[in-house]
Chains A and B, each alone.
Chain A
């Protein structure tokens, strides 16, 4: 007797259909074909126990299970449930009324027949819609996530006998439904910008970064509040659009983290990996590639603290994804593409001792050590970072007296959201572009038009600092965001000037004469 069940397997952030054929025939022994991985091979013992524990029997003859298409390697535990049901049907323990023909079936099976959650339920639900199935049957913890796909029925099951009931009788449970579109709410447990006194300049930079989705590098001596400020960034990020939220949820769904069981991810992810992170963990990879930190930060923020301490190869691996906003991972077994459109925020010290450019403390690094430290972050990577922000120590007076009014995050967020609204309106016809930083190169002349004076100023400064073509387009994009924040339709001279100011590291590293340091006193050496 032969039975056929439809299921799905993951390939990157997409799923493809897998037909599970189970045959019970003359002979002895169990066999599983169709390039299964170890988790699937050992699933047979699990399934046998689960079947016997629920009052059914495993076939005593020869059992062959085929996972078609047989030439693609399959991984994971999502086939447990369909294989178990396939065995029961092939062994004529259940009466097949062809009900399962219209459904995809996924789930991991426990020894007592409990159904456990699987990875990538959202992608599987999308597959069942694409392939024209009526719906999908999956583990209850995955139901919320899968029900985001409209137009299909999502049935959730907790135990093998619920699936048996579904096959044999008219199922009384209704499909899971989710309110769509979902209400987007703000989490209130964010750290607030009002905790940080002073640093108006850095806050302005982070506001620009949040408004336009720009990358930023905070560079300054230890203890000036770089990390503190960056960690408060989520509190001013604009809410996600439905498309952004769906895409982010898809990535989190296929990753090894199981934080999507609550349904759609509505809050922009803020990923903060340690500086010892490996290249693969950051970019994504593995023999069957899984998304890395940059993809998990998709439509959110990737914050790398102590960038100068990161491995050089790790930092340089960011070059391509920063530019292309996606990452293509090729392995011998498969090649997949993960989206990686994230805001890159990094913090680092200007030198090894940390005090280069400090207004009061003397830097103890030699010139050579300073070059060596700076060489860790290559020119091409610096070019890809829109905003270079010098974080100076807060003057003691400002810190102790605490008299200055500090803007709370909610106020800043309002301005950011207004600017983002203008951008969404601007890019509503361009697919997959949501903010100025994502602007396509061909659209730059259209949206970043400047008038005579600003253009002339930009021309002069480009020549003076020998800026590259990429820096040029970055400056225009930042200026566009600044104009959006100011509510200006056109990019003005002040926006261009401020944008160029944020490209301080594009200029060559120079050392002023010691006498000049004394003369300048408080001046920041980095921008000299």
Chain B
């Protein structure tokens, strides 16, 4: 019955599908370290993408990405730093948002690249 958790989980599934479809390699799903969490970590053309997935079933309250605030972005940056320390990964990194809108069976994915540019 906890529908918002289901929506979130479904969104993350859909995001991973979308990334695979666009030739990303999925490295981790829901990577956790302490209080830090990253929804999807993927790589493509030697760039590591840290992806935050936001899903909503209605646009009545704005687009899903509008619910990513400054604090959340800061959290994502810290998590990415932790990940790099732990895995000794090198190369370019990028922070992205996948905004998923589900309405009456239709799914719309909007990929916002490089939110810290």
Which residues of A are interface residues toward B (Cβ below 8 A)? Answer: 25-29, 60-62
Given A60-B63, A60-B65, A60-B110: A28 in contact with B115 (beta carbons within 8 A): yes
Contacts of B73 in A (CB 8 A): 28
Neighbour of A27 across the interface among B63, B68, B99, B113, CB < 8 A: B113
Interface residue ranges of B88-117 to A (CB < 8 Å): 97, 99, 110, 112-117
- Whether B117 and A62, one on each chain, are in contact in the complex, defined by CB atoms closer than 8 angstroms, is yes
- Whether A26 and B65, one on each chain, are in contact in the complex, defined by CB atoms closer than 8 angstroms, is no
- Give the interface size class of chain B: 10 to 19
Q: In the complex the two chains form, what is the Cα distance from A325 to B117 in whole Å?
A: 54
Q: In the complex the two chains form, what is the Cα distance from A26 to B114 in whole Å?
A: 6
Closest chain B residue to A57, Cβ basis: B63
Task: Provide a sorted-by-A list of 17 A–B residue pairs whose CB atoms are within 8 angstroms.
Answer: A26-B113, A26-B114, A26-B117, A27-B112, A27-B113, A27-B115, A27-B116, A27-B117, A28-B73, A28-B112, A28-B115, A60-B63, A60-B65, A60-B110, A60-B112, A61-B112, A62-B117
Closest chain A CB from B60 CB (angstroms): 13
Which residues of B are interface residues toward A (Cβ below 8 A)? Answer: 63, 65, 68, 73, 97, 99, 110, 112-117
Contacts of A60 in B (CB 8 A): 63, 65, 99, 110, 112
Contacts of B113 in A (CB 8 A): 26-27
- A-B pairs with lowest CB-CB distance, top 3: A28-B115, A27-B117, A26-B113
Contacts of A29 in B (CB 8 A): 115
Number of A-B contacts (CB under 8 A): 25
Q: In the complex the two chains form, what is the Cα distance from A61 to B114 in whole Å?
A: 10
- Whether A27 and B110, one on each chain, are in contact in the complex, defined by CB atoms closer than 8 angstroms, is no
- Whether B65 and A27, one on each chain, are in contact in the complex, defined by CB atoms closer than 8 angstroms, is no
8 additional A-B residue pairs with CB within 8 Å, beyond A28-B115, A60-B63: A25-B117, A26-B112, A27-B112, A27-B116, A28-B68, A28-B97, A60-B110, A60-B112
Contacts of A25 in B (CB 8 A): 117
Contacts of A28 in B (CB 8 A): 65, 68, 73, 97, 112, 115
Closest chain A CB from B56 CB (angstroms): 13
Closest chain A CB from B10 CB (angstroms): 21
Closest chain A CB from B27 CB (angstroms): 21
Closest chain B CB from A271 CB (angstroms): 50
Q: In the complex the two chains form, what is the Cα distance from A515 to B110 in whole Å?
A: 101
Q: In the complex the two chains form, what is the Cα distance from A26 to B63 in whole Å?
A: 17
Q: In the complex the two chains form, what is the Cα distance from A60 to B116 in whole Å?
A: 14
Contacts of B114 in A (CB 8 A): 26-27
Q: Which residue, A27, A28, A60, A61, has most C-beta atoms of chain B within 10 A?
A: A28
Contacts of A62 in B (CB 8 A): 117
Q: In the complex the two chains form, what is the Cα distance from A61 to B66 in whole Å?
A: 11
Q: In the complex the two chains form, what is the Cα distance from A26 to B112 in whole Å?
A: 7
Q: In the complex the two chains form, what is the Cα distance from A27 to B116 in whole Å?
A: 6
Closest chain B residue to A25, Cβ basis: B117
Q: In the complex the two chains form, what is the Cα distance from A26 to B95 in whole Å?
A: 11
Contacts of B68 in A (CB 8 A): 28
Contacts of B97 in A (CB 8 A): 28
